[in-house]
Structure 1
């Protein structure tokens, strides 16, 4: 039980007292050089100073926006909020002085009293924010004077008080503020430690955005919970030089690092160019892969590409989680490697798992074992009854790590966080909205309930169609496809929006590309594409973890908003 464990503010205070000189966080430049370092003592002192300033203008329970580029000031601001018992709200910082629509929606929803940011960003963000929510208190964290002997004394907080709001990615709807309590945080940190086999010597390397749950919970809070060191870099540095990530793992002898599926593909693509740096990845024991559908071919190619520099396929660690459960729900076993099953595609369309001959069905990658600290049920979303073995249903989760609900949305909270299995007496469950099944104790993710396509009475999972599309021709951009349905005269119609690779757009014939996509989808899914939109790179919106925002793509399609690379092709059927 969490009541016997110290909460995160107490943990930081204890580490600052016992090991003040130990390095907590190191931030790297785009050249892999150390730009900034925070010891546990320095983090505690700076967080105290921020908390003192906050307490003069805010009261416990007020919300404070955290608007920062990737860097260590974000971490100082976050712990300053925890010390002051002000609810932190991490958000995506403006790009080129332009506030994203999702960020504007978050600001309106959480009604902040203050903004923590950098002095260089203060004026531009003030101009963007104050027209939305009125006058705010502004705290440039880089100008707050460190204070070891401050008169501010952090008061003990309740385990059930809200520590921060983690806004959802908005991949299927508008962002919602998940109320994560101190109890949720330490419960999930304990789960991660046990599931990943961590201790105080488990060095981390991470580049995920710190306002995202994977970056914050996994790469910032887990190392602090352990007393370990975390090496951080910016997402843009990874996007530009994916192998910089692997170089940092090699240099700092990282035990744990990972990211979404596309991160592993990006490394393989860059290594294929022949510019592989001097690496030794034998230290890498937990290479976690989560946040989007995990592709078996991605795992295979990554293992093969980096086996020569010491990477072991047994280090691959598929996992599953979501903000509503703080972060982790299921995870593999350290050193075991991934599990896969081959499922009959036709039976999956009827929400049943039937084993298919190897190579003749859809290969599903397991997302890990159900942990003893949590309860995972597969439930028929229409009846609320537990599914029999080998049937696909909605994933329901219960445990101390499941958050309290959505900020100021009682009706949606009741629907999502207080589900009960029909005919059973037991805990209430979180409805994840994800579809999956459990085979031999392993959770397999099949799709997303809201994204499920029902065409001519048969279920189809959009990420399977997207994978088929982007693999149909070498000129097509991986991770640049959205499949969805729209109403038609005879029922739902399939629409596919596919991005072209930037370097290929002037080299290939559009008719050939379109024909390849249509033929592949017909062959693999027995579906006719009603409307195929070939568009330019970067036109599909993605979440901060790289997920395609299909709802946004559908909305933009209906508004005829895509820039066409080639004339759209419609089915004659």
Structure 2
């Protein structure tokens, strides 16, 4: 079968001067760019250097800032049949604990980086270090591979456990890239704008590999540029007439918040696929974004909720180009019983799109493994060529046993739409009723402006009369000395009781950054629960 290295070689031959990637600096101006032929030539030079220090199948750790050098290194690994392992770049010269776990797990033979970061590779004593930006020109004949050949290891973010290396084959990549191309309606004219980190599946597979697969141009920003100035993302979409761009739900909220301080001149009428995924999708976020940016040409039907996970390469479901999002008002009582039933005035839940061609998605009772009926909430399970080969060094992983991937996510299918409601491991069960922690966290965070957005964890622990609900909420720095903490805790209790009809057994108001997060910013609820039971929080 045709694999991604074949596609790059073909584009380098047929579209040598076609622009593959344009990279923007922190100021939004073009910093560097590369053609298909230029990428092919640089990747072959680095592949030649790689082949001098490792064998096909060896692992190469990719430690890079957000840059075109990362993309060169990644394709060099594909050419040399070396297994790329992208990791979170160090912060202030410190290697994160999660990265150290990844290094110990994958045992890299080589560290690929840039000259300014080369010294940080010393954390891998046994690995040879190659500064990609210093490799001289050279030629290399790509090592032939098949659909089953391992392409790279995509380490999970570790929101419920330690990071695990998802083994993504060339066949997995090709299957999922084709699913994305068809679902998003991409062709060679479909400019893509992205800022997500390259060491995450959304940034790598969606923003870097998908444009090359489709023959389109990618305009790439740094995550830091977006975080500092969220509207620079929309300015870039407007400037380059992007067809596709997206991010997690918080990114759309950040733009709405920034718009309150003023909106620059924008024309978002070219934006046809505004994908929203990687974290729970909020219906109010979709509505607020469409209302705020509709006057600037944004079409609410371009909003594209989707669902995916690294174990399925990337995408599993999507709303459909031009269809817009679907929402349901769900009966709260039935939701706690594990059923999705429409009821006026119920809790609004956003759908994550429809099942895509080439896969089989089922909702299964996680205890009995029996299929769930329409509207019943169970574990989402997925089968298809995009489902990956398992976890590195974990051949008996439960997620990959059986005919379908066990995602660990809870959801329901209703009228063809997939609704994702939570994580199986995070589900809170109190007196026989189901509560989804992200819903309780959302309610708590909305209870008072002193609480930090995205800084809340809800979980249960054993109590004297059964499971007890615990809510840990971080207080914004500017409120730390003025907040009336007993009153604030009472406000949270009242909001949770009013909205969810459950009492919080313990509410802790913590200092900023007390809650452990993954590299993508997700709260690690299991780690929060462990800390609560063992050492406690600085409150």
TM-score w.r.t. the length of structure 2 is 0.98
SS at 2:439 equivalent? helix
1:418 corresponds, among 394, 397, 401, to 401
| Partner residue in 1 for 2:124 | 129
> 1:106 is matched with which residue: 102, 107, 118?
102
Quote the RMSD (CA, aligned, Å). Answer: 1.2
CA contact (8 A) 1:535 1:562 kept: yes
Cα shift at 1:509: 2.5
Separation of aligned partners in 2, 1:210 and 1:309: 29
**2:142 counterpart (154, 164, 172):** 154
Q: CA deviation at 1:233?
A: 1.0
The superposition leaves residues 177-208 of structure 1 with CA deviations (integer Å, 9 ceiling, x where unpaired) of 11100000010000000111111111111111
Q: Which one of 72, 75, 78 corresponds to residue 82 of structure 1?
A: 78
Name which of 113, 124, 131 aligns with 1:140. 131
Aligned equivalents of 2:263, 2:513: Cα separation in 1: 26
The residue that corresponds to 1:325 in the other structure is: 312
Instruction: Please give the secondary structure, in 2, of the residue aligned with 1:497.
Output: strand
* Structure 1 residue matching 2:102: 3-state secondary structure: helix
1:37 corresponds in structure 2 to 33
Q: What TM-score comes out, normalization by structure 1 length?
A: 0.92
C-alpha distance in structure 2 between counterparts of 1:199 and 1:382, whole Å: 43
Q: Where in structure 2 are the equivalents of 1:67-466 lying within 5 Å? A: 67-126=63-122, 128-130=123-125, 135-147=126-138, 150=139, 152-273=140-261, 275-357=262-344, 360-412=345-397, 415-419=398-402, 428-466=403-441
Kept in 2, the 8 Å contact 1:288–1:319? The answer is yes
Who is 2:511 aligned against?
A: 536
Partner deviation per Cα, 1:24-44 (whole Å, 9 max, x = no partner) = 111111110111111111110
2:286 partner SS: helix
Verify the 8 A CA contact 2:121 2:129 in the aligned structure 1: no
Structure-1 separation of matches of 2:201 and 2:57: 21
CA contact (8 A) 1:208 1:545 kept: no
Residues 132-156 of structure 1 show CA distances to partners (whole Å, capped at 9, x for unaligned) of xxx2111110101133xx2x21132
The CA deviation at 1:475 is: 2.0
Which whole-Å CA distance do the structure 1 matches of 2:517 and 2:224 have between them?
A: 15
CA distance in 1, matches of 2:500, 2:290: 29
Give yes or no for contact 1:257–1:286 (8 Å, CA) kept in 2. yes
Q: Within the alignment, does 1:52 sit opposite 2:48 as a pair? A: yes
Aligned-pair distance for 1:506? 3.8
How far 1:416 sits from its partner (Å)? 1.1
Q: Distance in 2 between matches of 1:156 and 1:203?
A: 30
Q: In 2, are the aligned partners of 1:94 and 1:125 still within 8 Å (CA)?
A: no
Q: Offset of 1:507 from its aligned partner? A: 4.2
SS in 2 for 1:367: coil
Indicate the SS of the match to 2:171: helix
Is residue 520 of structure 1 aligned with residue 492 of structure 2?
A: no
* Unmatched 5+ stretches in structure 1: 420-427, 565-573
| Structure 2 Cα separation of the partners of residues 20 and 124 of structure 1 | 35
Runs of 4+ in 1 over 4 A off after TM superposition: none
Map residues 429-508 of structure 1 onto 2, 5 A cutoff.
429-508=404-483
Residue 534 of structure 1, CA deviation? 1.0
Deviations 1:441-469 (A, max 9, x none): 11000111000011122111100100110
Q: Distance in 2 between matches of 1:117 and 1:562?
A: 37
Deviation at 1:508, TM superposition (A): 3.7
- Counterparts of 2:30 and 2:289, CA distance in 1: 27
- The superposition leaves residues 220-252 of structure 1 with CA deviations (integer Å, 9 ceiling, x where unpaired) of 000000111111111111111111111111111
5+ residue gaps, structure 2, are: none
Q: Which residue of 2 aligns with 1:422?
A: none
SS, match of residue 352 in structure 2: strand
- What is the total number of aligned residue pairs between the two structures? 539
Question: Does the 8 Å contact 1:209/1:544 carry over to 2?
Answer: no
Contact 2:179 2:357 in 1 (8 A): no
Label 1:209 to 1:491 Cα distance change in 2 as closer, same or farther (>3 A): same
- Compare 246-255 and 554-563 and name the one that shifted more: 554-563
- Shift of residue 476, structure 1, vs aligned partner: 1.6
Whether the 8 Å contact between 2:411 and 2:418 is mirrored in structure 1 is yes
Residues 374, 399 of structure 1: 8 Å contact kept: yes
2-structure distance, mates of 1:252, 1:87:
34
